[in-house]
Structures are given as C-alpha cells and as structure tokens.
Homo-oligomer: A and B are copies of this chain.
C-alpha cells in the first residue's frame, strides 16, 4: 500500500532530509536547537509543507529530532546514535510539560497561528548563501557607529522620560536634510515618523488606513512581508502584474474601492523595473481621483549602478496621498531596526498617535546615534563605500553567471539594489523546489521566486524556475564558488 507519506517521500523530500541531517551531524544545528517550523522552511525552499513535514517525520523517527506538543521540532540529544559522539546538553532547565490549555485567538492571531517564518542565518556549512536581505558584517562601519553610539551615550537628559512618538528631534532634522540631499525629497521634520524598520511602517499604515475587507493593490511579484501585513489586517489584497516599467498602472483604473496601493517605484522588488514617468503620473492621478493612499517603499534607493537616481514619487506634483517609506536595513544593518515614514501632513497626528499606542516611540539610543552619523557626514561616506563594495559583488555575480551558465539563465533587475532575479531556461516552474533542495544539499543557499507571486499569477509570470539571488552578504570569491557549484549541479542534473 502506498501511503500519503510514501508519496511525499520523493526526490525533494529526500534531499531536504539529507541536507538537514548533514547540518545536524555537522553541528550547524546543535542539540536542543529549534529547527525552522515546517511552514517557514517550506516557504523558504518554495516547496509544499507536506514535503518538508515528511522530511521532519523521517528525522523524528530516526531520533535526530524530538518534538513536544505545541513547540517546533528540536534537535535531539544524540547519545543514542551509533557513531555519533554525545554532545553537551543544553543549559536550559526543563520543567515538566504543562497540560496544554485550549488556545483561543483573534482572527488576526488565528491567521498567524503556525508561528513565525523566520529562519536563522546559516552560520556555516554552505559554500555560499544567496539569501536576500542579509548584509556582510565586513561592510558595517563599526568604528563610525561605535563613535556615534558613544556620543549618544554621553548625552545627558535632564530626566529620563518617554520621547516624542514621532521620533527624536535631532534624527528628524538630520533626515530632513539627508532626504533633500540624497533623494531630492523636501519635507518638514514633523512629517517624519521614526519606526522600527520599514516593517513597522507598513503595519502602522495597515492599521491606520485599512478596515477588514478594504482592498489593497500590491505588485505581483512583490514583497511578501507587505502582502502578509495587509492580509493580516483583514484587507483584500489585489495583486497587480509588473513588467519592465514596474507596476502596470492601467490595471488600477478598473478596480473599485481600493484604499491603498503599495509600490516600489525606484526599483521594483524583486524584478527590478523602474516605474516609468507615464506610469508615475497615472498612479498619482488615480490616487487623486480615488482618494487611495500610496505607500512608496524606497527600500534600496541608495544602490544604483549604471543608471541615474530616480526621484521619489513623493517629490512629484499631486503626491498629497503618498507615504514615503525609508529604511537603514539595507544601508547599515537590518538588526538596528530603524526606518522612517514621511507622511502627508494631515495624516501625521494619527500616525503619531498610533505609534504611541503600539510602543510609545522607537529606542532613543539608535535614533541619536543615527542622527550623529548623518549629521557628521559619516553615514553618506559609508553609503558611498558600501555602494562600491556591492558594485564589485554585483560585477562578480553577473560575470560568473555569464561565464558559468551563459544561455542557461536570464537575469533581471541588475541595475540597482542588492539582488538579481535569475530564470532557468531549462527548468520549468514546477522544478523550482527541486532546484532549491538540490542546491541546499550541494551547499548553496538559493531562494525561490514563487512565494513572491500571489496565487493567481497566470499569464504574467514566466513558466520557468526562478530565484532571487542576494549578494550583499557574500565576499567576491564566495560568489564565484557558489555560481560554479550551481553550474556543476545543473550540468549533472540536466545533461
């Protein structure tokens, strides 16, 4: 009899199983470490959850993992395994398991009940991890940041009290000047709200602007964490196709009752198109007509290579409904958790009130340190250096892809940013998960494009396997080694 589990135990499952087992035995995951949830790993690898669950079940049945009710799988203490040296026990105390109470969640909570999709960075064991969003620690301006933080530590307040929910006055003044110099964006400091990374900006906008059932237009493919935050607010998310000129704005005209559009006009994520002048005007005219707000996410505006900087939408006429969203997650570090919203003035008071209600204000230390760093010029010096480093990585990646893979792949989105999209000419989209799992087993961290598309992507996505390759965390030699390993894997597989 063929059971459901047997059916799931195909090539992809086996590769996931083998990659995880190798990582456990190699020490990437230590005893009692939690593994990613099946949901998170499935999303990361672009395969079905059943496939991942089958691999976990095999590891559980072999005693490599253990599982307790309501908790993700953990790596077992491996004493019992033949040939495996006993590893030191974790230091966590183990209280007796309590009886699980029935869990009662809100609609918002129920939609999240499977747990976070976060996956820890691979600290070893991979030739190259092309995860998008990670940055190289070597690029971080450690000394300038240390000086700025210490300057902030030395500053004495007369008393310790909650700060302005909108953010520190120094940082907002520094950002006002920076945005004018770097992006041609003019605003008043009291249009700026400091947030804990752009994710909090999206969440605040979702809560303040959207009721359950409201419609939000997003780019397809697009940023998954934006789609998730709007969906969690109960909004109906309407994916709009993108092409080489960005969002196909003509599709907006036919939609009723859209309250918000989320766009990445300077560098469409992930495909890389720049929203054309005509479409910018169409988008703003539509926003004016419909009263819909537009969130302009300028997530990587600092990184442009062969092209001129694109002024933000926010700077154009009729941009009264535009919320500009910036971040330092791509320029300094995603771990600092700082971003900023530039608000239309009438929305400032309600966003500041929402920020106060959700967490009072962003931490003062990072805000003051960043203000010092911007005001001293160190921030922009760092960005220039970082642009050069990432330019070298980009050149290395494009050269390696051309030399090693040539006509096997098509590349998009290489003009700007910290990633490219690579389409595989000889792999159709149903083989994407298999590609990711084979690469993982071969020590290459690749990430599928499929999760960035909505469910109904028929007609506007290529029928090939695609990946989003981030390069900002890798050194040049690693990039070449990773691409060479990928080329070998493809040759072995397909030829």
B contact residues around A187 at 8 Å (CB): 95
Q: Does A232 contact B (CB under 8 A)?
A: yes
B contact residues around A120 at 8 Å (CB): 161, 164
Report which of B103, B107, B149 forms a contact with A153, defined as CB distance below 8 A. B149
Q: Does A72 contact B (CB under 8 A)?
A: yes
A13-21, A189-197, A264-272, A297-305: which lies at the B interface? A189-197
Question: In the complex, are the beta carbons of A197 and B160 less than 8 A apart?
Answer: no
Q: Does A375 contact B (CB under 8 A)?
A: no
Q: Does A12 contact B (CB under 8 A)?
A: no
With known contacts A291-B101, A352-B115, A359-B196, A160–B136 Cβ distance under 8 A: yes
Q: Does A145 contact B (CB under 8 A)?
A: yes
Question: In the complex, are the beta carbons of A99 and B320 less than 8 A apart?
Answer: yes
Question: In the complex, are the beta carbons of A197 and B359 less than 8 A apart?
Answer: yes
Cα A100 to Cα B291 with chains together (Å): 12
Question: In the complex, are the beta carbons of A207 and B109 less than 8 A apart?
Answer: yes
Report which of B91, B114, B117 forms a contact with A173, defined as CB distance below 8 A. B91
In this complex, the interface size class of chain A, counting residues with CB under 8 Å from chain B, is 35 or more
Question: In the complex, are the beta carbons of B360 and A337 less than 8 A apart?
Answer: yes
Q: Does A358 contact B (CB under 8 A)?
A: yes
Question: In the complex, are the beta carbons of A134 and B159 less than 8 A apart?
Answer: yes
With known contacts A153-B146, A162-B133, A207-B106, A232–B357 Cβ distance under 8 A: yes
A208-216, A236-244, A427-435, A457-465: which lies at the B interface? A208-216
Question: Which chain A residues (220-261) contact chain B, with CB distance < 8 Å?
Answer: 225, 228-229, 232, 259
| Interface of chain A: mostly helix, strand, loop or mixed | loop
Interface residues as binary, A117-128 with B (CB distance below 8 Å gives 1, 0 otherwise): 110110110000
Q: Does A137 contact B (CB under 8 A)?
A: yes
Cα A338 to Cα B338 with chains together (Å): 15
Cα A173 to Cα B72 with chains together (Å): 18
B contact residues around A350 at 8 Å (CB): 103, 105, 109, 112-113, 115
Interface residues as binary, A70-100 with B (CB distance below 8 Å gives 1, 0 otherwise): 1110000000000000000001111100111
Interface residues as binary, A338-372 with B (CB distance below 8 Å gives 1, 0 otherwise): 10000011111110111111111111111000000
B contact residues around A131 at 8 Å (CB): 161
Q: Does A116 contact B (CB under 8 A)?
A: yes
Question: Which chain A residues (141-159) contact chain B, with CB distance < 8 Å?
Answer: 142, 145-146, 149-150, 153, 156-159
Question: In the complex, are the beta carbons of B176 and A92 less than 8 A apart?
Answer: yes
With known contacts A209-B109, A353-B115, A161–B133 Cβ distance under 8 A: yes
A51-59, A328-336, A390-398: which lies at the B interface? A328-336
| Sample (13) of A-B pairs whose CB atoms are under 8 Å apart | A70-B348, A71-B345, A92-B189, A100-B345, A104-B259, A106-B207, A116-B353, A136-B160, A160-B334, A161-B334, A161-B473, A197-B359, A334-B360
**Which chain A residues have a beta carbon within 8 Å of chain B's beta carbons?**
34, 37, 69-72, 91-95, 98-109, 112-118, 120-121, 123-124, 131, 133-137, 140, 142, 145-146, 149-150, 153, 156-166, 173, 176, 186-190, 195-197, 199-200, 203, 207-211, 214, 225, 228-229, 232, 259, 291, 293, 320-321, 333-338, 344-350, 352-366, 473
